[in-house]
Amino acid sequence: MSTPCISILGCGWLGLPLGETLVNLGYMVNGSTTRSERLPTIASKGIQPFVIDISNFNTDVTAFLTTDILIIAITHKTEAHFKTLANAIAESPVKHVIFISSTSVYPNTNAIVTEEDTTSDTPLANIEQLFINHTEFTTTIIRFAGLFGASRHPGRFMKPDRPANNPEGFINLIHLDDCIGIICKLIETNSFNTIFNVCADTHPTRRAFYTKAVLNLGKPAPKFNEASTNDYKIISNTKVKSVLNYTFKVPDLMAYLD
Protein backbone atom coordinates (compact mmCIF):
# COMPACT_ATOMS: atom_id res chain seq x y z
CA MET A 1 0.00 0.00 0.00
CA SER A 2 1.37 3.42 -0.95
CA THR A 3 2.24 5.99 1.70
CA PRO A 4 -0.56 8.56 2.12
CA CYS A 5 -0.02 12.15 1.08
CA ILE A 6 -0.87 14.66 3.82
CA SER A 7 -1.70 18.35 3.48
CA ILE A 8 -1.49 20.68 6.47
CA LEU A 9 -3.56 23.86 6.29
CA GLY A 10 -1.65 26.21 8.56
CA CYS A 11 2.09 25.67 9.09
CA GLY A 12 2.39 27.66 12.30
CA TRP A 13 3.35 26.76 15.86
CA LEU A 14 1.83 23.26 15.50
CA GLY A 15 1.63 22.71 11.76
CA LEU A 16 5.29 23.33 10.87
CA PRO A 17 6.93 20.92 13.36
CA LEU A 18 4.11 18.43 12.68
CA GLY A 19 4.86 18.59 8.97
CA GLU A 20 8.58 18.15 9.59
CA THR A 21 7.86 15.10 11.76
CA LEU A 22 5.61 13.56 9.11
CA VAL A 23 8.25 14.13 6.42
CA ASN A 24 10.80 12.36 8.62
CA LEU A 25 8.35 9.46 8.95
CA GLY A 26 8.28 9.12 5.16
CA TYR A 27 5.05 10.90 4.24
CA MET A 28 4.72 13.30 1.34
CA VAL A 29 3.57 16.56 2.94
CA ASN A 30 2.04 19.77 1.58
CA GLY A 31 1.88 22.78 3.87
CA SER A 32 0.21 26.16 3.66
CA THR A 33 0.78 29.66 4.97
CA THR A 34 -1.02 32.94 4.41
CA ARG A 35 2.30 34.81 3.98
CA SER A 36 4.54 34.27 0.99
CA GLU A 37 7.66 35.23 2.96
CA ARG A 38 7.26 32.01 4.98
CA LEU A 39 7.42 29.73 1.92
CA PRO A 40 11.22 29.18 2.16
CA THR A 41 10.91 28.19 5.84
CA ILE A 42 8.27 25.60 5.02
CA ALA A 43 10.25 24.27 2.06
CA SER A 44 13.36 23.94 4.24
CA LYS A 45 11.54 21.27 6.28
CA GLY A 46 10.94 19.12 3.19
CA ILE A 47 7.33 20.29 2.91
CA GLN A 48 5.82 21.39 -0.43
CA PRO A 49 4.74 25.00 0.34
CA PHE A 50 1.53 26.77 -0.70
CA VAL A 51 0.01 30.19 0.00
CA ILE A 52 -3.64 29.70 0.99
CA ASP A 53 -5.94 32.11 2.83
CA ILE A 54 -9.46 30.77 3.35
CA SER A 55 -10.74 34.31 3.98
CA ASN A 56 -9.77 35.16 0.38
CA PHE A 57 -10.33 31.87 -1.39
CA ASN A 58 -9.34 32.93 -4.92
CA THR A 59 -6.27 30.70 -5.20
CA ASP A 60 -6.51 27.42 -7.09
CA VAL A 61 -6.25 24.86 -4.28
CA THR A 62 -6.55 21.78 -6.49
CA ALA A 63 -2.93 20.71 -6.02
CA PHE A 64 -3.02 21.30 -2.26
CA LEU A 65 -6.21 19.25 -1.92
CA THR A 66 -4.92 16.42 -4.09
CA THR A 67 -4.10 14.49 -0.97
CA ASP A 68 -5.38 11.62 1.17
CA ILE A 69 -5.45 13.40 4.52
CA LEU A 70 -6.04 17.10 5.23
CA ILE A 71 -5.08 18.49 8.63
CA ILE A 72 -6.74 21.83 9.38
CA ALA A 73 -4.57 23.68 11.91
CA ILE A 74 -5.57 27.33 11.64
CA THR A 75 -7.09 29.67 14.23
CA HIS A 76 -9.60 31.19 11.79
CA LYS A 77 -13.15 31.31 13.21
CA THR A 78 -15.45 32.55 10.40
CA GLU A 79 -18.05 29.91 9.58
CA ALA A 80 -18.73 31.15 6.05
CA HIS A 81 -15.09 30.77 5.07
CA PHE A 82 -14.94 27.25 6.47
CA LYS A 83 -18.11 26.37 4.58
CA THR A 84 -16.40 27.38 1.34
CA LEU A 85 -13.38 25.28 2.31
CA ALA A 86 -15.50 22.26 3.22
CA ASN A 87 -17.29 22.40 -0.12
CA ALA A 88 -13.94 22.49 -1.93
CA ILE A 89 -12.76 19.49 0.09
CA ALA A 90 -15.94 17.60 -0.81
CA GLU A 91 -15.04 17.94 -4.51
CA SER A 92 -11.42 16.86 -3.97
CA PRO A 93 -9.66 13.49 -3.48
CA VAL A 94 -9.38 14.09 0.29
CA LYS A 95 -10.55 11.01 2.22
CA HIS A 96 -9.95 12.13 5.78
CA VAL A 97 -10.03 15.54 7.48
CA ILE A 98 -8.36 16.06 10.86
CA PHE A 99 -9.76 19.27 12.32
CA ILE A 100 -7.72 20.81 15.12
CA SER A 101 -10.17 22.24 17.63
CA SER A 102 -10.09 23.21 21.29
CA THR A 103 -11.51 22.05 24.61
CA SER A 104 -12.78 25.64 24.93
CA VAL A 105 -15.93 24.36 23.19
CA TYR A 106 -16.96 22.85 26.55
CA PRO A 107 -18.49 25.09 29.23
CA ASN A 108 -17.10 25.13 32.77
CA THR A 109 -19.15 22.53 34.62
CA ASN A 110 -17.00 22.03 37.74
CA ALA A 111 -16.80 18.38 36.70
CA ILE A 112 -14.91 15.90 34.52
CA VAL A 113 -15.65 16.39 30.81
CA THR A 114 -15.56 13.65 28.14
CA GLU A 115 -16.19 13.59 24.39
CA GLU A 116 -19.81 12.69 25.11
CA ASP A 117 -20.52 15.97 26.90
CA THR A 118 -22.45 18.81 25.29
CA THR A 119 -20.48 21.69 23.82
CA SER A 120 -21.34 25.37 24.10
CA ASP A 121 -23.06 27.17 21.22
CA THR A 122 -19.92 28.78 19.81
CA PRO A 123 -18.58 29.47 16.29
CA LEU A 124 -15.88 26.82 16.79
CA ALA A 125 -18.40 24.15 17.78
CA ASN A 126 -20.53 25.09 14.76
CA ILE A 127 -17.50 24.80 12.46
CA GLU A 128 -16.75 21.35 13.86
CA GLN A 129 -20.30 20.27 13.03
CA LEU A 130 -20.06 21.73 9.54
CA PHE A 131 -17.23 19.30 8.73
CA ILE A 132 -18.83 16.37 10.56
CA ASN A 133 -22.01 16.79 8.48
CA HIS A 134 -20.15 16.26 5.20
CA THR A 135 -20.38 12.67 3.98
CA GLU A 136 -17.84 12.95 1.14
CA PHE A 137 -14.99 12.60 3.65
CA THR A 138 -14.56 11.53 7.26
CA THR A 139 -13.83 14.14 9.92
CA THR A 140 -11.79 13.54 13.05
CA ILE A 141 -12.01 16.32 15.63
CA ILE A 142 -9.06 16.77 17.96
CA ARG A 143 -9.91 19.10 20.83
CA PHE A 144 -6.62 20.22 22.34
CA ALA A 145 -6.42 21.75 25.80
CA GLY A 146 -4.28 24.85 26.34
CA LEU A 147 -1.15 24.63 24.19
CA PHE A 148 2.39 25.01 25.49
CA GLY A 149 5.90 24.01 24.54
CA ALA A 150 8.59 25.37 22.18
CA SER A 151 8.09 29.15 22.08
CA ARG A 152 5.07 28.99 24.40
CA HIS A 153 6.35 28.95 27.98
CA PRO A 154 3.38 28.83 30.37
CA GLY A 155 5.05 31.37 32.63
CA ARG A 156 4.40 33.96 29.94
CA PHE A 157 0.66 33.27 29.89
CA MET A 158 0.10 35.40 32.98
CA LYS A 159 -0.25 39.17 32.65
CA PRO A 160 1.54 40.94 35.54
CA ASP A 161 -0.94 43.83 35.51
CA ARG A 162 -4.07 41.63 35.35
CA PRO A 163 -4.98 39.37 38.30
CA ALA A 164 -5.99 35.93 37.04
CA ASN A 165 -9.43 34.55 37.82
CA ASN A 166 -10.21 31.14 39.30
CA PRO A 167 -6.96 30.60 41.25
CA GLU A 168 -8.24 27.34 42.76
CA GLY A 169 -9.77 26.12 39.50
CA PHE A 170 -8.07 23.17 37.78
CA ILE A 171 -6.21 23.65 34.50
CA ASN A 172 -6.02 21.64 31.27
CA LEU A 173 -2.87 21.86 29.16
CA ILE A 174 -1.13 19.83 26.45
CA HIS A 175 2.51 19.96 25.32
CA LEU A 176 3.46 20.41 21.66
CA ASP A 177 5.31 17.08 21.62
CA ASP A 178 2.10 15.29 22.60
CA CYS A 179 0.04 17.22 20.04
CA ILE A 180 2.37 15.95 17.33
CA GLY A 181 2.64 12.46 18.79
CA ILE A 182 -1.12 11.96 18.96
CA ILE A 183 -1.74 13.19 15.41
CA CYS A 184 0.96 10.87 14.09
CA LYS A 185 -0.43 7.91 16.07
CA LEU A 186 -3.94 8.68 14.80
CA ILE A 187 -2.72 8.58 11.19
CA GLU A 188 -0.59 5.47 11.78
CA THR A 189 -3.54 3.54 13.24
CA ASN A 190 -6.21 4.91 10.85
CA SER A 191 -8.28 6.01 13.85
CA PHE A 192 -10.44 8.41 11.88
CA ASN A 193 -14.05 9.57 12.07
CA THR A 194 -14.26 10.31 15.78
CA ILE A 195 -13.61 13.00 18.42
CA PHE A 196 -10.67 13.07 20.83
CA ASN A 197 -10.09 15.31 23.82
CA VAL A 198 -6.37 15.76 24.37
CA CYS A 199 -4.73 17.06 27.55
CA ALA A 200 -2.07 16.01 30.03
CA ASP A 201 -2.88 13.54 32.80
CA THR A 202 -2.65 16.01 35.67
CA HIS A 203 -4.76 19.06 36.50
CA PRO A 204 -3.05 21.27 39.09
CA THR A 205 -4.75 24.43 40.30
CA ARG A 206 -4.16 27.61 38.34
CA ARG A 207 -2.48 29.15 41.39
CA ALA A 208 -0.02 26.29 41.93
CA PHE A 209 0.96 25.80 38.31
CA TYR A 210 1.26 29.38 37.13
CA THR A 211 3.00 30.59 40.27
CA LYS A 212 5.68 27.97 39.72
CA ALA A 213 5.85 28.68 35.97
CA VAL A 214 6.27 32.42 36.47
CA LEU A 215 8.86 32.04 39.23
CA ASN A 216 10.81 29.67 36.96
CA LEU A 217 11.27 32.60 34.60
CA GLY A 218 12.68 34.71 37.41
CA LYS A 219 9.66 37.01 37.44
CA PRO A 220 7.57 38.16 40.44
CA ALA A 221 4.79 35.82 41.52
CA PRO A 222 1.54 36.37 39.60
CA LYS A 223 -1.51 38.01 41.11
CA PHE A 224 -4.91 36.32 41.41
CA ASN A 225 -8.46 37.54 41.77
CA GLU A 226 -9.36 36.02 45.13
CA ALA A 227 -13.00 37.07 44.71
CA SER A 228 -13.54 35.00 41.55
CA THR A 229 -15.72 31.89 41.68
CA ASN A 230 -13.10 29.24 40.74
CA ASP A 231 -15.17 27.77 37.90
CA TYR A 232 -13.41 24.96 36.04
CA LYS A 233 -13.66 21.81 33.97
CA ILE A 234 -11.38 18.76 34.04
CA ILE A 235 -10.85 17.34 30.57
CA SER A 236 -10.61 13.55 30.50
CA ASN A 237 -7.98 12.06 28.17
CA THR A 238 -9.12 8.46 28.76
CA LYS A 239 -10.46 7.94 25.22
CA VAL A 240 -7.35 9.05 23.36
CA LYS A 241 -5.14 6.88 25.57
CA SER A 242 -7.31 3.80 25.19
CA VAL A 243 -8.17 4.07 21.48
CA LEU A 244 -4.67 5.04 20.32
CA ASN A 245 -2.79 3.19 23.08
CA TYR A 246 -0.89 6.43 23.48
CA THR A 247 1.56 7.21 26.29
CA PHE A 248 1.99 10.92 26.98
CA LYS A 249 5.47 12.43 26.73
CA VAL A 250 4.54 15.21 29.19
CA PRO A 251 1.88 13.65 31.44
CA ASP A 252 2.61 15.59 34.66
CA LEU A 253 2.41 19.37 34.37
CA MET A 254 4.05 20.20 37.70
CA ALA A 255 6.87 17.74 37.04
CA TYR A 256 7.44 19.39 33.66
CA LEU A 257 8.19 22.67 35.41
CA ASP A 258 10.89 20.91 37.41
Each domain of the chain, given as residue ranges in start order, spans: 5-151+174-201+234-249
- Report the alpha-carbon distance of residue 97 to residue 169 in Å, rounded: 34
Residue 209's pLDDT is: 97
Phi-psi region of 237 (alpha: psi -120 to 50; beta: other; left: phi over 0): alpha
Query: In this predicted model, what pLDDT tens digit does every residue of 222-246 receive, in sequence order?
Result: 999 999 999 999 999 999 999 999 9
Give the pLDDT confidence score for residue 92 in this predicted structure.
Answer: 96
- pLDDT reading at 1 higher than 70: no
CA 9/CA 47 separation, integer angstroms = 12
Which among 57, 62, 116 is positioned nearest to 94, based on CA atoms? 62
pLDDT at position 187 over 90: yes
Range 69-94 average pLDDT: 95
Whether 85 shows a pLDDT value over 80: the answer reads yes
Instruction: State the average pLDDT for the chain.
Output: 95
- What is the arithmetic mean of pLDDT over 24-48? 97
CB neighbour list of residue 190: distance below 8 Å, 6 or more residues apart:
none
Q: Is pLDDT at 58 greater than 80 in this prediction?
A: no
pLDDT for the residue 76:
84
Average pLDDT of the segment spanning 13-34: 97
Task: Summarize the confidence of residues 182-194 as an average pLDDT.
Answer: 97
CA 31 to chain centre: 16
CATH 3.40.50.720 fits 5-151+174-201+234-249, yes or no: yes
What average pLDDT score do residues 121-144 get? 97
* Residue 95 main-chain phi, psi, to 5 deg: -95, -35
Per-residue pLDDT, averaged over 2-31, amounts to: 96
